[in-house]
Chains A and B, each alone.
Chain A
Amino acid sequence: MKVDWKKYVIVFFITSALFLTAIYLSNYFNNRKLENLKSIQDKISIDILSTETKFTLLQELACKEVDKTFLSDELNELAQKIEYSERNLGGQNESVTDLKKYYSLLQIKDYLLMRRLKERCGIKSNFILYFYSNTGDCPECGKQGLILTALREKYPELRVYSFDYHLDSPAVRALISIYKVGRDLPGLVIDGQLQPGPQTIEEIEKLIPPLPKNIKPTEETEKN
């Protein structure tokens, strides 16, 4: 039978149209996701303003009136979405990078506020600043991230703030400069002291000031 080349060409165009439709649909939904991220971005702007306001109010408020879990949930949700977006849209995506910068700012604000709360109101929180890199120069960062996640689950009062070492953000660069974080990543700042290189669970537990014995949630978590 004679080959009907015209048909091959028609089928090629139909298949290409299906391909383009798939790419269009993918872009459409990815843009919707970016819009979602942007709305979170806007929320962060408000939250930053709110944080600054709370800083001011803190001078006048009684300790019992201060919300001690400030921004914790929002931070976690945002962290997860940024991580997912970075994985799926690529770390070079401008919207994702902008969001990471905002997220870093928010974390720094939260860190400063919580430290002041700890000093003034004596709340039982510990802080770890975690500097990582996902550009291939930190093979231990993945493992370190898992250890910190496990510790955060074990000690709900432990607040871990993660920063991309290579993020082009003046605030993050200032933190790096203040704590003299070198290229020996991962870098952990525990209780204000830099601990370069990867740390095990046991090593970190030794370094963090003892958490109160009231860690009932932790015991329950361990039972679960």
Chain B
Amino acid sequence: MITVVFYIFIFLSIYVQVFFLVTFLERREEIHRREGRVIPSRFPSITIAVPCWNEEQTLERTMCSLLKVDYPKDKLHIFLVDDGSTDSTLERMRTFEKYSNVKVFHKENGGKYTALNLALGYCQTEVFGCLDADSFAHPEALRRLVTYFDNPQVMAVAPSIIVDHPRNIFERCQKIEYEWAVYIKKMLGFLGGIHVAPGPLSLFRRQVFNVIGSYRPAHNTEDMEIAYRMQKHHLKIEQCNDAYVYTITPNSIKKLFKQRLRWIYGFLNNTMDYRRLLFKPQFGHFAIFTVPAGLISVSSVLYVFGRIIGNLIEWVGDKLNQISAVGWNLSLSFPHLDWFYFNTKSVLFLFLFLYGLIIVSILIGRYMTHGKFKFSPAIFYFIIIYSFLAPFWIVKAVWDTTRRKNPSWR
């Protein structure tokens, strides 16, 4: 029974990767990576909200990137919203009030979604967006993003997020992960199955909020919930692979753990909130593929983690048995080099296929990001380190979900 469950999980995991690859092969001609200045057919007016809570370290750089964005100044409005910061964020915000298109708001601390809703209340432009205060927009980002609004069906468009100057191994691993996500998100965009409109510079037609309402607490993942809600209302979300936003990522295991715990917790709980959409064909690939694929990932990792723990307990039991039988005087046994002893079970080949597909996906993502296939040893660091770490934040997220304990932001 255990073996059957294991094979089902690995089949589904490979299925998901093949599905992405088939989508890529079908739609690859439609993937463009624009290098130079883009001239959109029109420049819709845009409001970008920058919600801040204790962002004195990065606010200036975020603002400078926004001010340097190549977009008509009279069409771009920047709302800086201080969500009750306890540091000098508000004072720093005030220094930008000299720019005519910048407005500063201050409110009691209430969470990111409340800051966004405040900005939304004042928004009078055709398009509304958000830029997290730890992210920096590429100068061409807005021009490239708005081209997607030429299609009147498109209600929101998400950018490609890239790790800003990775310094240590964890940040380099995340850089690979984000580049992989460029590919995954683009494929989900083709499928109409995007499930997150990320905080860094996703743009929405203002009318979206008139239809579906404002931001909600959403288990501290309001950018995920808004996408779920849009999918529920059949509002199309696109992915612009060549609109880049650079973001600062967690630089330690602890910070990474907290961030991913929040994301996975948000995914599980938003999925539960919108469970009625699941597997209903009228909600398209979002309900049939995207969310089930996420659930398969979470379940597979939990299952494999459980088996690893089980094997570890068995190994410790064997060693204790050995010690009780022959004492501590254990001779060292080295692995046999004879090929006969290499594992040739089918599961090994299935894992090779699965990881092969993942590596191919990462390389395509890097191609879509950098314009060339770049192999990096960090791909292996990413696979190895995430294989070790991911089960922990997934297990914790499931545990917190059972206890209804909402993880904090930081």
- Residues of A near any B CB (own CB < 8 A): 1-4, 7-8, 10-12, 14-15, 18-19, 21-23, 25-26, 29-30, 33, 36, 80-81, 84, 88, 142-144, 146-147, 149-150, 153, 201, 222
Specify which of B281, B325, B329, B344 is in contact with A29 (CB 8 Å cutoff). B344
Given A8, A19, A146, A147, which contacts B350 in the complex, CB threshold below 8 Å?
A19
Q: A21 to B350, alpha carbons, bound, how many Å?
A: 9
Question: Given the complex of chains A and B, what is the CA–CA distance between A12 and B15 in angstroms?
Answer: 7
From B15, B18, B288, B340, give the contact of A33 (CB < 8 A): B340
The answer to whether B402 has its CB under 8 Å from any CB of chain A is no
User: Residue on B with the closest CB to A33?
Assistant: B340
Point out the residues of chain A lying under 8 angstroms from B350, CB to CB: 18-19, 22
Q: How many residues of B contact A (CB 8 A)?
A: 37
Interchain CB contact (< 8 A) of B321 among A21, A33, A80, A143: A143
In the complex, what residue of chain B is closest to A143 when comparing beta carbons? B325
- Which residues of chain A come closer than 8 Å to B285, judged between CB atoms? 1, 3-4
Cβ-neighbour of B349 out of A11, A26, A80, A88 (below 8 A): A26
Q: Is B346 an interface residue (CB 8 A)?
A: yes
Q: For A2, what are the chain B residues with a Cβ–Cβ distance below 8 Å?
A: 284
CB distance B22 to A15 under 8 Å? no
CB distance from A29 to the nearest CB of B (A): 4
What 10 A-B pairs have minimum CB-CB distances, sorted nearest first?
A: A1-B192, A29-B344, A22-B349, A26-B346, A150-B326, A1-B284, A143-B325, A146-B325, A15-B15, A22-B346
The answer to whether residues A147 and B326 also contact, given A3-B284, A22-B349 and a CB cut-off of 8 A, is yes
Instruction: Give the shortest distance, in Å, between A181 (CB) and chain B (any CB).
Output: 21
Chain B 339-350: CB-based contact to A (< 8 A → 1; otherwise 0) = 011111111111
In residues 31-73 of chain B, which contact A (Cβ within 8 Å)?
none
Shortest C-beta distance, B20 to chain A (Å), equals 9
- B324 within 8 Å of A (CB atoms): yes
Check A14–B22 contact: CB distance below 8 A.
yes
Contacts of B14 in A (CB 8 A): 15, 18-19
B331 within 8 A of A: yes
- CB-based contact A3/B281 at 8 Å: yes
How far, in angstroms, from A22 to B99 measured CA to CA in the complex?
A: 62
